[in-house]
Amino acid sequence: MEQLFQPDEKHSYHLQPCESWPEAYHRFEHGSIWAVRAALASGRPLLLRGEPGVGKSQLARAAAHVLRVPFLSHVVDERSERDDLLYSYDAVSRLAEAQISAALRAENPADWRAQLAAERFVRPGILWWALSWDTAAERLQKYCEGRTDEPAPVAPDGWRQNAADRPCGPVVLIDEIDKADPSLPNGLLESLGSDGFRYAQLGVSVCRPPDAKRPLIFITTNEERELPNAFLRRCLVLQMEFPKQQEAAIEFLLDRARAHEKLAPVSDTIRREAAAELVQDRGSADPGAGAVPGAAEYLDLLRMLAEVPGGDEPQRAVLREIKAFALKKNLRV
């Protein structure tokens, strides 16, 4: 299993900006490496549990970078349904085109019917791309024909030619699944288990080709809502926790800061002082409020300090002025 995924725990991986994702740096931890290896070997989704800002989503993106496969992501909200991950049927566009082309009905009925064929309004979702890249590309081409110029997902150079040499297909991130109704994770069980699905508009099934590698699925939760037990049993689970002991928490934050090259203007001394402030404020936060400062707020704070010239003293002075805005979320009364 060690051959499936071999990032360097001490090396910082530079993740280039991609679509809506900004530039980032990631350093793998020992536990996360083994969790990804286990998910690759078993074919099970990897559920990442932990508070916001601890690095759950970035782990999926970094895994795609190391594996040199496409990275596909979807952020779940309270209105999300299972089919949003598989495909979308653009009924609004179909209605609009029907109204516009109503005048053409008498002139050329055959062309009018072809123009409004249901298949022209089906757009592939991230799981369709992950399971069957070629059929998703064909479907996107038909969806865009005469209407729009929507690009296919970004893929590493040469990935299609060398896909057989990769340990998996695309990496899929289903982000913040706990925001959705329980019907969404339950609805995913069949599609993830069978490597395929059927979509009603055309009565056609989409399946992973026999020669295609299984996608690697990451799912994150911020624990806002309990997930169904049947769904949890189908997943491997990685607990990504913020350390509870003070010194361990400070080292946890410092390690993340060292992974970011653009934070070099901030010395280890100031980094440690900022980390100590954050850990202190975590201890002062109302445990029932849920919103406590974490790694994301810490890195934001260091990015502000990196813009301050002059070394430790000017940065320390700025830290005193701005720390409350970045770190104090919910305080005990």
Q: Which of 239, 259, 280 is the last residue of a domain?
A: 239
Q: Which of 218, 239, 260 is the last residue of a domain?
A: 239
Name which of 95-99, 150-154, 277-281, 328-332 the model is least confident about. Answer: 328-332
Based on the domain organization, do 267 and 206 belong to the same domain? Answer: no
Based on the domain organization, do 230 and 259 belong to the same domain? Answer: no
From residue 303, alpha-carbon distances to 100, 307, 319 in Å are 51, 7, 11
Based on the domain organization, do 235 and 132 belong to the same domain? Answer: yes
Q: How many domains does the chain have?
A: 2
What's the token pair of residue 315?
Answer: 């940065």
3 state SS of 15: strand
Give the range of the structural domain holding residue 207, as residue numbers without chain letter. Answer: 13-87+119-239
From residue 324, alpha-carbon distances to 146, 232, 318 in Å are 53, 38, 11
Based on the domain organization, do 134 and 60 belong to the same domain? Answer: yes
Based on the domain organization, do 132 and 276 belong to the same domain? Answer: no
The pTM of this model reads 0.86
Q: Burial of 193 by CB count in 10 Å (0-12 exposed, 13-18 middle, 19+ buried)?
A: exposed
How do residues 95-137 score in pLDDT, each as one tens digit? 766 666 665 555 555 566 666 676 778 889 999 999 999 999 9
| pLDDT computed for residue 33 by the predictor | 95
Residue 167 lies in a domain: yes
Q: Which of 239, 271, 298 is the last residue of a domain?
A: 239
Q: Given a cut of 60, is residue 287 above it in pLDDT?
A: no
| Nearest Cα residue to 15 out of 50, 82, 48, 64 | 64
The mean per-residue pLDDT over the stretch 55-64 comes to: 94
Based on the domain organization, do 253 and 230 belong to the same domain? Answer: no
Based on the domain organization, do 133 and 215 belong to the same domain? Answer: yes
Q: What values do phi and psi take at 320, rounded to 5?
A: -60, -35
**Looking at residue 64, which CATH number applies to its domain?**
3.40.50.300
Based on the domain organization, do 219 and 280 belong to the same domain? Answer: no
The mean per-residue pLDDT over the stretch 183-196 comes to: 84
Based on the domain organization, do 34 and 181 belong to the same domain? Answer: yes
How do residues 5-51 score in pLDDT, each as one tens digit? 889 888 889 998 888 888 888 989 999 999 999 999 999 999 999 88
